[in-house]
Structure 1
Amino acid sequence: MKITDIRWTRAFIPIEAPLRYSIGSHPGFSRIIIEVETDEGITGLGECYTGASREGQLADLKPQLIGEDPMNLERIRWKVATPSSVKLFGFALGFAGIEFALLDIQGKALNRPVCDILGGRIRDEVPFAAYLFYRYANDEGTGEVSNAEQMVAFAKALVDRYGFKTLKYKNGVLPPDEEIDTFISLRKQFPKHRIRLDPNAVWTATTAIDVARRLHDYNMEYLEDPVWGMRAMQRVNAKAPWVTLASNMSVFAFEDLAPNIMADVLDVVLLDPHWYGGIHRAKLAGQICEALGVDAGMHSGAEFGISQAAMLHLAACLPNLTLACDSHYHHLKDDILEGGMLKFENGAMKVPTGPGLGVSLDRDKLARYHELSKQHEMGAWTDDPRRGGGVITQPKW
């Protein structure tokens, strides 16, 4: 079997209401959908982060992959995504989408789901966390979340609708005092839920330590990336040793794993098949965590259904994935999959059982959301319209 063509399509899908981050806001989610064709009539699906640089990477990769056997993943990786090219030119994100498609081809050729190719599933469903954001009102004037009362109501609506047992509170948007009050309000409303906190590394170490002390009695599941960089994380760990620290920003590549783990900086590494350059590489990172006694979780980066399926297959075969995975997916209003959106049931999502990734494209929807992407040339990130311009520093507080 040989690769005969690779094509990609940018798409933008609206979300329920604009999501606020420490560094900007999401008006919707933007992704690149990848299709890899073979001479045996099998087409594999992939997905990756958007951006002109990513599409340029795919254009560079395409002529190097035509004629290759999609079964030869290691040969292909060493041909186009060597450690140096990944480090220097950021090829991991584009190659990850290619790898998803190649694994989809392999699974379809063998009539087996991708998780079977990875070693076999140890779970049939994967638990997820409700992803709580501050939000702007949508065009209909609803959906705003800007204070503790609204955040608690938002969380309750998600728990009631989807059955989530874990809450992820994305903060770093408002002053820390306000966000501490919001965390306490969430804990009072949800005394038995796990609640994790993620300010996207916009606090100083001093601020992070202060927040950890003030939330000491409120049973935080973990504190994700309170500060930027390994040294600052070490300071937080030394001054607030009772806090479980997690990261996908201090640690998002293989060369970050050993220094951070051996320096006793982290308790949880948040894996991502996009950042690590594919499902195989993310699984290897998970095995490294297992060998070194560090817990594994899973990061989310505003995925459509193809990437969501890839994450499900990865999660299915990781024995040390004991924490609910992150997922932006429930914020989407639609998807580009045949049959509609993947379903949450009782706070979890079933691992697809069909060949390959187990999902297929709705081409009408892909065409529709490709047209919509032309109105969002900057992709899914924008400046925060209520911030008043200027730059966002890191740290911010």
Structure 2
Amino acid sequence: MRIREVVLTPVAFADPPLLNVMGVHEPFALRGIVRMKCEDGVVGLGESYGDRAFLDQVRTVLPRLSGHDVFDLPGLRRLVVEELAGTVLSDEHGLIGGYSMRKTVASVYSLFEVACLDAQGRAVGRPVVDLLGGRARDAVEFSAYLFYKYGAHKGAREDSWGPVLTPEALVRSARRMIDAYGFRSLKLKGGVFEPAQEIEAIHALAEAFGGLPLRIDPNAAWTPGTAVRVADELQDVLEYLEDPTPGIEGMAQVAAQTPVPLATNMCVVDIGDIEAAFRARAIGVLLSDHHFWGGLRDTQALSITCESFGVGLSMHSNSHLGISLAAMVHVASATPQLTYACDTHWPWKNEDVIVPGALEFREGAVAVPDGPGLGVEIDEDALARLHENYVRCGLTKRNDSAYMRQYVEDFTPHTARW
């Protein structure tokens, strides 16, 4: 089945002022939506990043896709490699690790691979999970993703969550998420305040939600010594500690001194990082992300590598919409080794580009859609509305640090600050 046309639509959707080590989220998050129009009227869907640098590389590949067979994924990868040879996209917001040509190719290829798999599934009348080998689980569990946040964007009214800057406010936001979505594990985005305050917050969550697995991710805000101290203080309540300090070497120093498993989506971000990290025993859990690990099939291949070396597997999330969530659910369902609850920003958004109803959280999990392909459909009116958001907002890349300086004039990122 041949591709006739691929339409790329950049979109923007409202994002709260969520705080992290690099600053604060801007009023809109950016995504790129692909509709892969094929023979017989089949349309495959894909979703990935929406910053201009990434979209420009996607546009470079688009002219080569017409006439390509959606079942020829090795040929698709070769095509992307040919078009992007020598191109390196940087992670400007600083939250998903290093960059390389290999990671750039993997990121662009992933967008098209998901759309091809969606088209394949629609053509043969089977869900993507079946194309990936079948279901290891019928529903995929997710973790509540807690953030410190300001109450409002600059010049805007306070949002419904209000300010979340204290342990008490974090507990309230966690309770709201659990009540709405049924989450059975909790993750805190740390690296915002001094470690003592964030230790207090984790203890408050442990007291309020005893028995639920807890995680904290300071995005490399701490030195190795501080990371060891925090791990010692929280070892009785943490499921894992994510990216406490920068780099494989720093993570290995911490891992050697604590029984708490260390997780990452920053120091191991493509296959070139695996040998060094695994030899150094720097991590116990790897957070996969099909958006930059090369798609759904490469995520499955990564899971086998992790299993071979005794490394657990979870899944990273950035601010995403329903097409990405559907892809995450299908690949997680088909990957037995992915045993930790996945991350998701889902509760923080109130807009989408898909028809509602296909993806629902029940007891913290999302059932695999039964429909063909990804099992989700584009809401054309919503897509047009979010594209208009993109045009009007004027944002072309994510820059948490620059936006943070509207709140704190002399702000600098907190990487390895404490």
Please report the TM-score for the alignment, with normalisation by the length of structure 1. 0.95
Would the aligned equivalents of 1:334 and 1:340 in 2 still touch at CA under 8 Å? no
Q: 1:122 to 1:341 in 2, by over 3 A?
A: closer
Match of 2:101 in 1: 88
- What residue identity is the alignment partner of 1:22? V
Q: Deviations over 1:135-174 (max 9, x none)?
A: 1113432421011110011111111221111001111011
The aligned counterpart of 2:327 is 310
Tell me what 2:94 maps to: none
Q: Is the Cα–Cα contact under 8 Å of residues 31 and 320 in structure 2 kept in the other structure?
A: yes
Gapped regions of structure 2 (runs ≥ 5): 89-99
Of 93-102 and 371-380, the range deviating more from structure 2: 371-380
User: Paired residue for 1:59?
Assistant: 59
Query: Does the Cα contact within 8 Å between 1:334 and 1:341 map onto a contact in 2?
Result: no
Instruction: Answer yes or no: is 1:239 the counterpart of 2:257.
Output: yes
- The answer to whether the 8 Å contact 1:197/1:224 transfers is yes
Asked whether the 8 Å contact 1:97–1:274 carries over to 2, the reply is yes
Distance 1:389 1:67 in 2: 52
Query: 1:193 pairs with 212, 216, 225, which one?
Result: 212
- Helix, strand or coil at the partner of 1:40: helix
Q: 1-side partners of 2:357 and 2:20: how far apart?
A: 28
- Cα distance in 1 for residues equivalent to 2:181 and 2:314: 20
CA shift, 1:393, in A, is 5.0
Output the amino acid matched with 1:330: P
- Give unmatched runs, 5+ long, in structure 1: none
Query: What do the CA deviations read for 1:178-214 (whole angstroms, capped 9, x no partner)?
Result: 1111111111111110001100112111111111122
1:173 matches 2:192: yes
Secondary structure at 1:135 match in 2: coil
Q: Partners of 1:75 and 1:301 in 2: how far apart?
A: 28
**1:222 is aligned to 2:240:** yes
Assess if the C-alpha contact under 8 Å between 2:29 and 2:319 holds in 1.
Answer: yes
**Which residue number corresponds to residue 157 of structure 1?**
176
Give the number of aligned pairs. 394
Per-residue deviation, 1:50: 1.2
**Structure 2 match to 1:23:** 22
Q: CA deviation at 1:381?
A: 4.1
Moved more, 24-33 or 337-346: 337-346
Which letter does structure 2 place at the counterpart of 1:232? G
2:134 counterpart letter in structure 1: G
Report how far residue 177 of structure 1 moved.
1.1
| TM-score where L is the length of structure 2 | 0.90
Which range moved further: 259-268 or 85-94? 85-94
1:389 deviates by 3.5
* SS in structure 1 of the partner of residue 291 of structure 2: coil
**2:275 is equivalent to residue 258 of structure 1:** yes
After superposition, where does 1:1-397 map in structure 2 within 5 Å? 1-15=1-15, 17-26=16-25, 27-81=27-81, 87-88=100-101, 90-138=104-152, 139-142=156-159, 143=161, 144-217=163-236, 219-240=237-258, 242-339=259-356, 342-374=359-391, 375-382=393-400, 383-384=403-404, 385-392=406-413, 394-397=415-418
- Aligned residues of 2:52 and 2:396 also touching (Cα < 8 A): no
Question: RMSD in angstroms over aligned alpha carbons?
Answer: 1.7
Looking at structure 2, the residues matched to 208 and 360 of structure 1 have their Cα atoms a distance apart, in angstroms, of 44
Q: Secondary structure at the match of 1:239?
A: coil
